[in-house]
């Protein structure tokens, strides 16, 4: 299988509506999750840049949809992108602001033809929340594959990691149904030490390449 060089990623632009998105051509994968689960850190670890996506100690700082182009002209002749969506579920954000973010994400998810899959980042220590389940259900309705990243695995022992992953899979089956039939996959990851990066790269290549 061909491999994408994710180290060739670069920031393209930030948008708050479809009017300023990059042209809807090529293939892209969107990254989503609750505030402070490590979306920006994952992007930086995957691409090999420390500050490609801005990391903040204050949750809720991603207030736009951020697009990152991946230059791979020697592999494909169409654009490849990573897309960082605003985090959700941060209590300190005013309800009207959160509603605006939700509307922004819904517009992107339902209208973007280039979208080939979603990466849902979850803190492995806390697992699924109500809003995560709502997003999973929404992705199922619009028939978009979704890959759950159980981030921050470096915070747990191997035994605890196994227990958390097993618990999550059981909960998903109870709430959503069979994972394979619903285009849902799961992996353990650490943006801190890079555990799981190769597995994630393979998944993204399967989505982004023909």
**How high is the pLDDT of residue 16?**
86
**How high is the pLDDT of residue 72?**
86
pTM: 0.90
For residues 50 and 162, which has the higher predicted lDDT (pLDDT)? Answer: 162
Q: Write the pLDDT tens digit of every residue in 9-49.
A: 999 999 988 899 999 999 999 999 988 898 989 999 999 98
Give the residue among 91, 115, 92, 119 at the shortest CA–CA distance from 22: 115
Q: Write the pLDDT tens digit of every residue in 192-204.
A: 999 999 999 999 9
Classify residue 107 by burial, with Cβ atoms within 10 Å: 0-12, 13-18, 19+: middle
**How high is the pLDDT of residue 91?**
45
Q: Give dist(CA 76, CA 70) in Å, integer.
A: 11
Residue 94's pLDDT band (cuts 50, 70, 90): low
Q: Write the pLDDT tens digit of every residue in 96-148.
A: 555 666 788 888 999 999 999 999 999 999 989 888 998 899 898 999 999 99
Q: Give dist(CA 64, CA 17) in Å, integer.
A: 9
Q: Write the pLDDT tens digit of every residue in 51-86.
A: 677 554 444 455 789 999 998 878 899 999 999 998
Contacts of 173 (CB under 8 A, 6+ apart): 179
**How many C-alpha atoms does 44 have within 13 Å on its Cβ side?**
16
Q: Write the pLDDT tens digit of every residue in 144-174.
A: 999 999 999 999 999 999 999 999 999 999 9
**How high is the pLDDT of residue 2?**
79
122 beta partners: 150
**How high is the pLDDT of residue 99?**
67
CA angle 6, 53, 165 (to 5 degrees): 75
Give the residue among 136, 142, 93 at the shortest CA–CA distance from 116: 142
- What torsion do the CA atoms of 184, 189, 194, 199 make, to the nearest 10 degrees? -30
């Amino acid at each position: 299988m061909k491999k994408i060089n994710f180290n060739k990623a670069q920031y393209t632009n930030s948008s708050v509506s479809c009017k300023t998105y990059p042209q809807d051509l090529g293939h892209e994968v969107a990254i989503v999750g609750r505030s402070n689960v490590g979306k920006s850190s994952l992007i930086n670890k995957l691409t090999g840049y420390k500050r490609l996506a801005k990391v903040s100690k204050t949750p809720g700082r991603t207030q736009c949809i951020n697009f990152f182009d991946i230059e791979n002209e020697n592999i494909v002749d169409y654009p490849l992108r990573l897309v960082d969506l605003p985090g959700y579920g941060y209590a300190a954000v005013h309800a009207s602001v959160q509603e605006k973010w939700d509307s922004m994400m819904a517009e992107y998810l339902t209208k973007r033809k280039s979208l080939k899959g979603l990466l849902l980042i979850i803190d492995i220590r806390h697992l699924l929340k109500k809003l995560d389940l709502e997003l999973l259900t929404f992705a199922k309705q619009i028939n978009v594959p979704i890959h759950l990243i159980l981030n921050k695995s470096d915070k747990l022992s191997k035994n605890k990691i196994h227990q958390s992953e097993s618990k999550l899979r059981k909960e998903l089956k109870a709430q959503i149904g069979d994972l394979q039939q619903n285009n849902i996959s799961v992996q353990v990851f650490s943006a801190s030490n890079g555990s799981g990066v190769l597995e994630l790269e393979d998944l993204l290549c399967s989505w982004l390449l023909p």
